[in-house]
A = this chain, B = another copy of it.
Amino acid sequence: MFTTDTLIRVRYAETDQMGVVYHSNFFPYFETARAESIRQLGFTYADMERMGVIMPVVDVHCRYLRPARYDDLLNIRTTLKELPQHHKIEFHHDVFNEKEELLATAKITLYFVEAGTMKKTSMPLQLQSRLQPYFS
């Protein structure tokens, strides 16, 4: 298992007239948390794109339990439960506020795809070798 925590401060722009974070604005938080998660391994998603591998999102599921509010400092806990096989990778995200209340929980599925051909590919070795130790 590979888990990281990423802190994100809610922006005013992300609230709506209910006075809470608009539901879809959690997804850029998750994206940021995935990027930081990879960065912590000493690699970056930006590097991967420069190598010609992109990661389109193919499936999202998110449950909203409690509202996130303006200026909340959220903790996005990001977990890989399994070492990805083939072209598919699944991230789990749990969002906590400063009181450690669970606000939302999500599963995001992405594919590894060759940017040039748009064909499915497998996880670049640079990332795989860094992840391996967490799953043995």
Residues in chain A within 8 A of chain B (CB atoms): 9, 11-20, 22-25, 27-28, 31-32, 35, 44-46, 49, 54, 56-64, 67, 70-71
With most chain B CB atoms within 10 A of its CB, the pick from A20, A22, A44, A45 is A22
Supplied contacts A23-B56, A58-B64, A60-B60, 20 more A-B pairs, CB within 8 Å: A11-B28, A12-B22, A12-B35, A12-B45, A16-B17, A17-B17, A17-B19, A20-B56, A23-B27, A24-B25, A24-B27, A24-B28, A24-B60, A27-B27, A44-B71, A56-B64, A57-B64, A59-B61, A59-B62, A59-B63
Contact call A22/B13, Cβ cutoff below 8 A: yes
- Copy number in the complex reads 4
Given contacts A16-B15, A17-B70, A44-B71, contact A32 B9 (CB under 8 A): yes
Contact call A17/B22, Cβ cutoff below 8 A: no
Neighbouring B residues of A70 by C-beta, 8 Å = 17, 46, 49
Q: Which residue of B lies closest to A32 (CB)?
A: B11
In the A-B complex, list the 7 residue pairs whose CB atoms are closest, starting with the nearest: A24-B27, A13-B28, A46-B71, A15-B17, A23-B57, A24-B24, A61-B61
Neighbouring B residues of A32 by C-beta, 8 Å = 9, 11
Given contacts A16-B17, A23-B27, contact A60 B57 (CB under 8 A): no
